[in-house]
Structure 1
Amino acid sequence: MTVGNMDSAELFDAGKKGRGLRATKELYAGDVVFSEPSFSAVVFDSLATQVCHSCFRHQDKLHRCAQCKFAHYCDRTCQTACWDEHKQECGAIKKMGKAPSENVRLAARVLWRIHKDTGIVSDSQLISVDQLEDHVADLPEESVKQLKKDVHTFLEYWSYGRKQHSVDDISQIFGIIKCNGFTLSDQRGLQAVGVGLFPNLCLVNHDCWPNCTVILNHGNQSALSSALHSQRRIELRAVRKIPEGEELTVSYVDFLSLSADRQKKLREHFHFECTCEHCSQHISDDLMTAAAESEGNKPSADKVREGTALTKECLQKIEKSRVEQDYNTVVKLCCECLEKQENVLADTNLYKLRVLSVASEVLSYLQSFSEAADYAQRMVQGYIKLYHPNNAQLGLAIMRAGVTHWHAGQIEEGHGMICKAYGILMVTHGPNHAITKDLESMRMQTELELKMFKQNEHVYHSMRDAALKVSSS
């Protein structure tokens, strides 16, 4: 599909939700509904020297812009491809003597782009940026204070002699970014690295159990000429069959929260009350707060409350030890907590899932793969009961669990999980995404190892042990 093609979606009046997009034809799981280049985007301040400001890939060695000494790029072609977006920013940073925060940089990039393109980049852009919701009037007091600080910094940053803007106009742009900014991840999808504005994506309304998902495709920067680079873009992808005329939806928040907590987050950040089926009927809330059940017996309500309170307390200690990088203490706390939860909280209980997640992650980091695999297996089984079968977060969790089992020498389980994750990510990310390509390589490697294992288990484990000794020496 070409970037910007909107043949599969159209704007419509979604009633109380305002504007929305709906399918103009029948769509199937994995179909790209539309793709859209960013109107403007910036790398987070904290990662400015680690992530390319053009393609948003995480790289070890980046080249710095010789003029502003702030922007960093993979190479000359990435820098040339980004120059049109960076040139005014470059002059403003030089004049100010330092780069302002990402919010101010993004607001300035948005306004420079509006001046250049009068707010509409192409015929496929369904709405101009200044028509997006800003909700400035709904901001709480603390957010208003921050907004005033950002506006003050913006006025200092905005180059002298250019078209001037009123405080209200600048405030509106900040409000639009706050409500509509889309977090951009690196090429492996493992870390949030920046934020961008995508006008057509902003028209897709929320549902906690959506029919679409959105991912960042970093494009292809391998060509020597920047003119031949494919743009970074978001892709809206169907996660199930969508009949013609059905509204297209994505989830603005992770599903793994109680319906009341999701509603609170949506109200505070996006200023609307979620009335989707999963919130209205509190679907899966019972699983997320479930007590353990053994042979039809359940613990008392008091015991469940006590177990939940203990877990909350323990999670605070776990987080403190994680921040201090005291990973052995993290493991000890997780094991103690899970022992106390035994026969009290079910494996779908959110508090148990959080502890299982931390335990498997930290044990993998410490290379205690067999223990990590046990916890990862339990976590994944809980996730499968809660998430949509084609949820990207589920796919990534199963992928990590599969890799952990593989590293633990549990090749059959590892290969099975990697195959399952590959099936999900083919829908959510597509065959050309870096994550899917990585997963395809792992799938082929584990398939070869599984054949070897089935032919002769002893030979397989001997070869594996020898390879591990070489890699650790």
Structure 2
Amino acid sequence: MTVGNMESAQLFDAGNKGRGLRATKELRAGEVVFAEPSFSAVVFDSLATQVCHSCFRRQAKLHRCAQCNFAHYCDRTCQTACWDEHKQECAAIKKMGKWPGENVRLAARTLWCIHKDTGIVSDSQLVSVDHLEAHVADLPKETSAAQGGCDTFLEYCSYGRSSLPSTTSHTSMELTLSDQRGLQAVGVGLFPNLGLVNHDCWPNCSVILNHGNQSAVSSALHSQRRIELRAAGHISEGEELTVSYVDFLNLSTGRQKKLQERFHFQCSCEQCSEHVKDDLMTAAAESEGNKPSADKVKEVTAFSKECVEKIERLRAEKDYHEVVRLCRDCLEKQENVLADTHLYVLRVLSVASEVLSYLQSFSEAAGYARRMVEGYMKLYNPNNAQLGLAIMRAGVAHWHAGQIEVGHGFICRAVAILMVTHGPNHPITRDLESMRMQTEMELKMFKQKECVYHATRDAALMKQRLLKRKQRT
């Protein structure tokens, strides 16, 4: 069932992948294929008091809804903009005396929206939400009941309305939502058009959240958790549009397992079928033609896996100094055994550079960040958002470490990537462009001072030579 249309994409039969979207015209790198507001969205339980439930901005001080004491907002403007979404949720929470988990809240909001808007929120929506593919039958019976929290869900929905909606479709349309800077996941939302874009581990499009102008006084200018689908490179007319549902930085078997568990299909893209770059992600170190033994590689890989699990747990507990200690120990163990493109090396380097930057140990963070970027560049698509953000982190670390020229170089490379993946008006791109201009200015000032220093030194040397000549004569 199609219900809308858009200029750059159209629905088509993608064979064993089901429905898909293809380009109706030639697209350039960075061009927006379509933008779409969320059909429904909720803040994560763990961040319910730290993130605005309307614009999803992280704020130090938020105003709480006086009726349910659960929803938090930047100000009355955000609260007013969100009231149409929140009023049924507000009534349900008041009647229950508590709030359910994010999955139940998202499912309830979706059903309330379907009942109110018949599954359509914009003229360009290509398919009604209740006509998206369901995957309930793909779940084990015990999982379907447990994950749904059926009793809680039914009670909660009934409190939000006098009667339950007749539609009980389940959709696998979830997309993680980030904060205003695009750096931290703060919630989850449903996007109908995006759900029609099929997966590929090496996609030709990227999807990002662009929250719009949430600082505007008028709520009419606020976007409702809007996503943008952007071309990651040149796309020909008639070519299928694809995005990656999972991070590429995993072995093909690992990606396939995640996709099967979460999205219920077996990925058969070229990257998975031919195990592209799996060899790099499991590579052993090589120095002057010498490689460690297979047993040594196996031993260090097992140690690294266990270490990464500990590191992630300690980072969640915010024990950052212990995280740094474990990262150093793990990297020392990996040295001359695992290559810098190995998955576990890259994961440790990523955490180490991030945590050390947070602790303001910028020189050490910069060294790890540079190694991480060198590995990423051998694995990721050149216009991959994760690569761009990693290069940005490396640039900032080098800049704060006083290595302005190197930092400026990284920041310029990051700008080039994020202009494609995020566009010029995204908050993170604007921040990065400001950093590029500042580092450029600092670099010019440094070079000017260096020129003055050399000129002064040369003048002093010349003066000394002239004095020596006079003394000889």
Give your verdict on TM over 0.5: yes
Q: Which has the higher mean CA deviation after the structures are superposed, 81-90 or 193-202?
A: 81-90
Structure number with larger C-alpha Rg: 2
User: 1:126/1:326 Cα in 2 relative to 1: closer, same or farther (>3 Å)?
Assistant: closer
Structure 1 residue aligned with 2:27: 27
The yes-or-no answer on 1:225 pairing with 2:221 is: no
- Contact 2:5 2:123 (C-alpha < 8 Å) held by counterparts: no
Structure 1 residue aligned with 2:121: 121
The yes-or-no answer on 1:421 pairing with 2:426 is: no
Q: Which has the higher mean CA deviation after the structures are superposed, 324-333 or 415-424?
A: 324-333
Shift of 1:320: 4.6
User: 1:284/1:99 Cα in 2 relative to 1: closer, same or farther (>3 Å)?
Assistant: same
User: 1:60/1:406 Cα in 2 relative to 1: closer, same or farther (>3 Å)?
Assistant: same
TM-score normalised by L of structure 1 = 0.91
Q: Which has the higher mean CA deviation after the structures are superposed, 356-365 or 205-214?
A: 356-365
- Contact 1:211 1:250 (C-alpha < 8 Å) held by counterparts: yes
* C-alpha separation in 2, matches of 1:355 and 1:374: 13
TM-score normalised by L of structure 2 = 0.91
The percent identity for this pair of structures is 79
Shift of 1:319: 3.6
- Contact 1:42 1:53 (C-alpha < 8 Å) held by counterparts: yes
The yes-or-no answer on 1:70 pairing with 2:70 is: yes
Unaligned runs of 5+ in 2: 454-473
Secondary structure of residue in 2 paired with 1:158: helix
- Contact 2:43 2:53 (C-alpha < 8 Å) held by counterparts: yes
Shift of 1:8: 0.1
Secondary structure of residue in 1 paired with 2:236: coil
Structure 2 residue aligned with 1:111: 111
Amino acid at match of 1:59: Q
Question: Residues 62-211 of structure 1: matches in 2 within 5 Å?
Answer: 62-141=62-141, 143-147=143-147, 150-159=149-158, 162-165=162-165, 169-170=167-168, 172-173=169-170, 176=171, 179-211=172-204
Amino acid at match of 2:393: R
- Contact 2:158 2:164 (C-alpha < 8 Å) held by counterparts: no
User: 1:42/1:414 Cα in 2 relative to 1: closer, same or farther (>3 Å)?
Assistant: same
Secondary structure of residue in 1 paired with 2:295: helix
Amino acid at match of 1:202: G
- CA RMSD, aligned part only? 1.9
**Of 292, 296, 306, the match for 2:289:** 296
- Contact 2:54 2:224 (C-alpha < 8 Å) held by counterparts: no
Q: Which has the higher mean CA deviation after the structures are superposed, 230-239 or 429-438?
A: 230-239
The yes-or-no answer on 1:386 pairing with 2:379 is: yes
* C-alpha separation in 1, matches of 2:72 and 2:60: 11
* C-alpha separation in 1, matches of 2:355 and 2:111: 43
* C-alpha separation in 1, matches of 2:450 and 2:94: 63
Secondary structure of residue in 1 paired with 2:398: helix
* C-alpha separation in 2, matches of 1:294 and 1:43: 49
Shift of 1:336: 2.4
Unaligned runs of 5+ in 1: 461-473
User: 1:12/1:400 Cα in 2 relative to 1: closer, same or farther (>3 Å)?
Assistant: same
- Contact 1:42 1:196 (C-alpha < 8 Å) held by counterparts: yes
User: 1:38/1:342 Cα in 2 relative to 1: closer, same or farther (>3 Å)?
Assistant: same
- Contact 2:32 2:231 (C-alpha < 8 Å) held by counterparts: yes
The yes-or-no answer on 1:17 pairing with 2:17 is: yes
Q: Which has the higher mean CA deviation after the structures are superposed, 137-146 or 419-428?
A: 137-146
Structure 1 residue aligned with 2:37: 37
Amino acid at match of 1:130: D
- Contact 2:112 2:165 (C-alpha < 8 Å) held by counterparts: no
- Contact 1:64 1:73 (C-alpha < 8 Å) held by counterparts: yes
1:412-466 deviations in Å (ceiling 9; x for gaps): 1101101111111111111111101110111111111111121225999xxxxxx
User: 1:377/1:5 Cα in 2 relative to 1: closer, same or farther (>3 Å)?
Assistant: farther
Structure 2 residue aligned with 1:330: 323
Shift of 1:40: 1.0
Amino acid at match of 2:344: Y
Amino acid at match of 1:77: T
* C-alpha separation in 1, matches of 2:133 and 2:10: 19
* C-alpha separation in 2, matches of 1:276 and 1:427: 23
Structure 1 residue aligned with 2:235: 242
* C-alpha separation in 2, matches of 1:319 and 1:44: 19
* C-alpha separation in 1, matches of 2:43 and 2:382: 32
- Contact 1:5 1:35 (C-alpha < 8 Å) held by counterparts: no
Q: Which has the higher mean CA deviation after the structures are superposed, 89-98 or 430-439?
A: 89-98
Secondary structure of residue in 1 paired with 2:348: helix
Structure 1 residue aligned with 2:345: 352
- Contact 2:5 2:124 (C-alpha < 8 Å) held by counterparts: yes
Amino acid at match of 1:21: L
- Contact 1:291 1:344 (C-alpha < 8 Å) held by counterparts: yes
Question: Residues 396-407 of structure 1: matches in 2 within 5 Å?
Answer: 396-407=389-400
Secondary structure of residue in 1 paired with 2:378: helix
User: 1:135/1:54 Cα in 2 relative to 1: closer, same or farther (>3 Å)?
Assistant: same
- Contact 2:199 2:244 (C-alpha < 8 Å) held by counterparts: yes
Structure 2 residue aligned with 1:372: 365
Structure 2 residue aligned with 1:408: 401
Secondary structure of residue in 2 paired with 1:356: helix
Shift of 1:117: 1.5
